[in-house]
Structure 1
Amino acid sequence: MADVLKGKTVVVFGASNGIGAAVAELALAEGASVMAISRSGVGPKGSKGVAVDVADLRALTCALEAAGEIDHLVYTVGARLGSPALSTLTDDVLPLAFETKLFSAVHAIRLALPHLSPNASITLTSGQVSRKYGVGSLVKGTVNAAVDAAGRHLAKELAPRRVNVVSPGVVDTSLWGEAGSEGRAATIARVSSALPVKRVGAPAELAQAYLFAMTNGFVTGALIDVDGGGLL
């Protein structure tokens, strides 16, 4: 399967850490030319790191123009929101959640349209809380459900370009705290014990789902769950 992306251009949003960085690293390993977009401009070694705030549409336009023809676009950006219950929800949380994970993704796709190859793929990122309900998951659940729906609508509108959504479960990233911290270790242990596979995911495992979405030409409008059985 080596070099399945050889000669292809992959643009990854949110590539400075976590799942986005793992996707960029895997795309590089598979022979792609990778533009890694993030606020910091830091990307995996071998990628072209570009510092862009996804809310800055002028800067985003310039970055996408510089990418040339884009074969695959991957969006993994999301806001760190915690898990506020409705009673503690502040006025800024809902706009931030939707602006970062949904609206900016749609703007990025719109601005990329002139540069997307005729058979390009687009892969968005939601999360299992779109269909796993609980206290404190109102904001994350609704924005992720909106991303799920947007992916399917775009798959129809942008055909024959393909649009898919990867829906991760809990993945061992800095979202849960600093590496080695007691809080992160406790959260990971608690979640792991409740999963059928008895562990949380690794970013590299999620990256394989994005690679599948990029390279399987018969997959579009799909919601790809990679959650260790978390929805069961």
Structure 2
Amino acid sequence: MDMGLRGQRIVVVGGTSGIGLAVAGAAAREGADVVVASRRRESVDAALKQLPEGAEGLTLDATDEDEVRAFFERVGAFDHLVYTAGESLLMESLAESDLARSKRFLDTRLWGAYSAVKHGAPFIREGGSVVLTTGSAGRRPRPGTTVAASLCGAMESLTRALALELAPIRVNVVSPGVVRTDLWRALSEKDRGGLFESTAAALPVGRVGAPEDVAEAYLYLMRGGYSTGSVVDVDGGGLLV
């Protein structure tokens, strides 16, 4: 009998807000033992108040490789690694871009994920998996998304390479569309509201996503033993319009 994620240990790096928190909550409600990690202790403590009893929270700076190595040594054996870390989006034109800021953005989202997989994979039990996070900008870039498009293209290629290199550990990536999370806080309230409204009007589903919508894709990829190297789009049909 398939017990889903019950009794499995899941590490969610970036699991204290948005999609990561939704993944952690959904997995915990299925009976998984969840460990969430984030850079700030206050974020970890706030997340634990929202998660079922028994969830564990640790601080982790994903851009510090020594800290990442020590983190996984502390966690020990587990079944699934989910990486959703990233505090904000970076949307700026090439002419206005700041290379140092762009590097910091990629340090967390790309190299942080790379480091987490490098040091986490040796602790993943048989039948386990890695689920990373990308976005539609790699395949549908728009003006002002040069850094995001670079990140998304890299994450999808990294996923396919890791699926081969780490086999039989499965490695997949989820590609969310526009989702109501704090990632958009860099926009003014007016601009954010306008973005959500225009996106909802354009999408076949008629609305923007919620973190819980996207979390289901991560759970599917953790449960499903026959998917690896896959990109799963959860964008309300955004790639179609």
Which band: TM-score by shorter chain? Answer: over 0.9
The answer for unaligned runs of 5 or more in structure 2 is none
**Partner of residue 93, structure 1:** 101
Q: Percent identity?
A: 40
Classify the secondary structure of the residue corresponding to 1:197.
Answer: coil
Question: What's the CA shift for 1:79?
Answer: 4.8
Identify the match of residue 222 of structure 1 among 225, 230, 234: 230
Identify the match of residue 108 of structure 1 among 106, 116, 126: 116
Q: Is the 8 A contact 1:119 1:160 kept in 2?
A: yes
Q: 2 CA distance for matches of 1:187 and 1:2?
A: 41
How do 1:14-163 residues align onto structure 2 when only pairs under 5 Å count?
14-41=14-41, 42=44, 43-44=47-48, 45=51, 46=53, 47-163=55-171
Q: 2 CA distance for matches of 1:113 and 1:184?
A: 37
Matched letter for residue 50 of structure 1: L
**Partner of residue 198, structure 1:** 206
Task: Give aligned pairs, total.
Answer: 231
Cα RMSD for the two superposed structures: 1.9
Classify the secondary structure of the residue corresponding to 1:94.
Answer: helix
Relative to structure 1, is the Cα distance of residues 82 and 109 closer, same or farther in structure 2, using a 3 angstrom cutoff? closer
Deviations 1:145-166 (A, max 9, x none): 1000000000001001100000
Question: What's the CA shift for 1:102?
Answer: 1.1
Question: What's the CA shift for 1:191?
Answer: 1.3
Matched letter for residue 130 of structure 1: G
Deviates more, 1:53-62 or 1:26-35: 53-62
Question: What's the CA shift for 1:190?
Answer: 1.6
Q: 2 CA distance for matches of 1:38 and 1:74?
A: 12
Deviations 1:180-206 (A, max 9, x none): x44432221121111111111110010
Q: 2 CA distance for matches of 1:223 and 1:198?
A: 23
**Partner of residue 12, structure 1:** 12
Q: 1 CA distance for matches of 2:87 and 2:196?
A: 20
The answer for unaligned runs of 5 or more in structure 1 is none
More helix by share: 2
Q: Is the 8 A contact 2:10 2:79 kept in 1?
A: yes
Deviations 1:44-95 (A, max 9, x none): 4232111111112222222212222110000001252431101101121331
Deviates more, 1:50-59 or 1:77-86: 77-86
Relative to structure 1, is the Cα distance of residues 162 and 2 closer, same or farther in structure 2, using a 3 angstrom cutoff? closer
Question: What's the CA shift for 1:3?
Answer: 5.5
TM-score for both structures, normalised by structure 2: 0.90
Classify the secondary structure of the residue corresponding to 1:184.
Answer: helix
TM-score for both structures, normalised by structure 1: 0.94
Q: Is the 8 A contact 2:87 2:183 kept in 1?
A: no
Q: 2 CA distance for matches of 1:98 and 1:154?
A: 18
